[in-house]
Amino acid sequence: MATFYNQATLSYNGNLASSNITAGEILENLFVTKTPVNSNYSADRDNSYVISIVNNSSVSYDNVTITDDLGEYVFNPPDDSVVPLTYIADTVRYFVNGIPQADPAVASENPLTITGISVPAGGNAVIVYSARANNFAPLGEEASITNTATVSGDGFTDISASSTTTPENSAFLSISKSLSPAAVEENGRVTYTFTIQNNGGIAVDASDDVIFRDDFTPPLTNITATFNGTPWIEEVNYNYSAASGVFTSLEGQITVPAATYVQDPTTGAWSVQPGISTLVISGNIT
């Protein structure tokens, strides 16, 4: 809504008289908002966006077009730009005054261009679609995606609405296990190496109480354990039963640094360099 001001003047015999200032408002016929269903994004989850157009006027607007930039941003000024969201095909849904309508036409997927929208007089139209963060989606603590939808058509000035989402900011752990040697004589000694990776932007510290457990089959004897090169002590860092082969770390012993994120200066693609911790357990096969 825009505010306008007016003031009149009188000029007479070299004098000037000014009137009071009047103020008025121009009521927008159409008003648009855009809302993400989830405030965070990640590469393994779709996010839905809701675009709501409200018509405050006494006339309907037909053949309205919505153009969404899918968060396009310049990463290497002034010329290079990338698009961090990928539209999920066939996800556009269209409602008029809450009633489902036939799916509108998608004229383009990048930018996402939706045509044939009608907004009735004194009513509203709602468009819902899904998109997923791709490898151009910014990562890191200060990162975000702001995508803007622009509504255009005959009889009104283009209007826009934006929404901002931030990356999922949590630890994301995975673990892999290797054995050396792969073939061993009876009563021979083997070494298990466990690589714990954190692809998330939050480090795992002692307060997170991550517990490691393995049931060694066959059980090991005369075991030794190191975590990130530091020897572990039984009943201080871990418990182990030679009878059952169950090895369990104690609370607060597993820590993993946060991942770091790097944007390629040429392509604009982001890559993840996971934080890594290593647990090595050796023992004799019984």
Per-residue pLDDT tens digits for 188-203: 999 999 999 999 989 9
Query: How sure is the predictor about 179, in pLDDT bands with cuts at 50, 70 and 90?
Result: very high
**208 by DSSP, 3-state: which?**
helix
CB 113 within 8 A of CB 66: yes
Output the CA torsion 243→246→250→251 (10° steps).
-150
Report which secondary-structure segment, H or E, holds 118. strand 112-119
Q: DSSP for 110-140, please give it.
A: TTEEEEEEEE-TT-EEEEEEEEEE-TTS--S
Residue 124 in domain: yes
- Strands annotated E in 181-219: 189-198, 213-215
Using the 3D structure, point to which of 119, 150, 167 is the last residue of a domain. Answer: 167
Using the 3D structure, point to which of 117, 139, 167 is the last residue of a domain. Answer: 167
Mean of the pLDDT values across residues 119-132? 97
Say yes or no: 142 and 184 in one domain: no
Say yes or no: 162 and 33 in one domain: yes
In the beta sheet, which residues pair with residue 268?
A: none
Residue 11 in domain: no
Using the 3D structure, point to which of 123, 145, 167 is the last residue of a domain. Answer: 167
Give the integer Cα–Cα distance in Å for 263 and 165.
Answer: 19
Phi/psi of residue 208, each to 5°? Answer: -80, -15
User: Look-up: residue for tokens 């779709």?
Assistant: 46
Say yes or no: 193 and 80 in one domain: no
263: CATH: 2.60.40
pLDDT tens digit sequence for 52-75: 999 999 999 999 999 999 999 998
pLDDT tens digit sequence for 228-255: 999 999 999 999 999 999 999 999 999 9
Find, among 132, 135, 129, the residue nearest to 66 by Cα: 129
Residue 59 in domain: yes
Say yes or no: 182 and 255 in one domain: yes
Give the integer Cα–Cα distance in Å for 83 and 71.
Answer: 6
Please check the confidence at residue 187 and state whether its pLDDT lies above 60: yes
pLDDT at 26: 63
Residue 2 in domain: no
**13 by DSSP, 3-state: which?**
coil
**24 by DSSP, 3-state: which?**
strand
Q: What is the domain count for the chain? A: 2
Range of the domain at 136: 29-167
Residue 15 in domain: no
Query: How sure is the predictor about 2, in pLDDT bands with cuts at 50, 70 and 90?
Result: low
